[in-house]
Amino acid sequence: MRQVSDGGQLRSPQPDGLLLPRSSLLLTVEEVRQLWAFVHGDIMDGGIRTLLRASLGLCPRHTWAYAVVEIELWQTGGGLRGGHQPFDVTVLYEDLLEHVAAGLTRPATPFRRHPESILVPSGPCRVCTELVPSGHAGMRLGYAASNSSALADEANLLTWTRRWCIDTAPIWRPMVCPRCQEAPQKKGREVDAAGLLCRPHLLSLGRLSPTLREEVAARLRELQGRMRRLTASMTKYGAPATPQDDASWVETLGFFAGWGPPLHLADITAHADERTT
């Protein structure tokens, strides 16, 4: 996805076609095969990291799918939980939070007139480009000869991801993008909390004021601090994560990829909100 410069204005694609609906994720065997290999790949490698910065990680579907595959399938790890935690995800997205925050607060120059263009991926989703079409003949071996079909069945249960989303909902709920949160019939109304918009919905605003860019960057840097502590908590030496740290990966993926999956998994709907307010 690339931005289109239109007479000096930033014209962005409508986000609704890019975002996942507020529903469960049902991953294909091929997606799980690719993501299980991706989780085992070296995202710290300089070349891969540069590509992942350009693409701002993965597309919305595969951003959430990446977390699901790691959380559901990775059964061992450091820290108190020992497994079923988004370690690889937080390592990558901590870096992307800094990348986007720095871009938003960088002054405009004649060569880079629109700092908000940092919100637009300039490269394709790595997983989308590597998916083998379903009609393709031949062997499709899983990572280390794993059984991709069995892994997909396990991942699609969403047992651990659902638990994470429900447990952390009290923290992330006030931070949900107002456009992702609102019922479809309300779309198009004024956004009164633009600083909370997710990346795709920020793009739908076009040009962003310096004040709004600063506000969003400050939110991303605050998130980055919590995510750094969460990453450390999943290692041998890190302190235990606080509930705020635990929620940071949901908030971060919500920013990059929209909030459909966690809103669904935590069973928070616009109607439920109306009943409780």
Q: Which residues bind Zn ion (CB under 5 A)?
A: 59, 62, 125, 127-128, 177, 179-180, 198, 201, 258
Q: Can you tell me which residue has the tokens 């705020």?
A: 244
Q: In terms of CB distance, is 59 or 97 closer to Zn ion?
A: 59
Q: Which of 251, 264, 275, 50 is nearest to 158 (CA)?
A: 264
Looking at the Cβ atoms of 79 and 121, the one nearer to Zn ion is 121
**Between 241 and 263, CB nearer to Zn ion:** 263
- What is the smallest separation between the CB atom of 19 and Zn ion, expressed in angstroms? 7
Which of 77, 123 has the CB closer to Zn ion?
123
CB of 180 to Zn ion, least distance (A): 3
Q: Which is nearer to Zn ion, 2 or 112 (CB)?
A: 2
Question: What span, in angstroms and rounded, lies between the C-alpha atoms of 72 and 155?
Answer: 5
Give least dist CB 259 to Zn ion, A: 6
Closest to Zn ion by CB, 16 vs 98, is: 16
- Closest separation between CB of residue 182 and Zn ion, Å? 9
Least distance from C-beta 235 to Zn ion, angstroms? 28
Shortest Å, Cβ 248 to Zn ion: 18
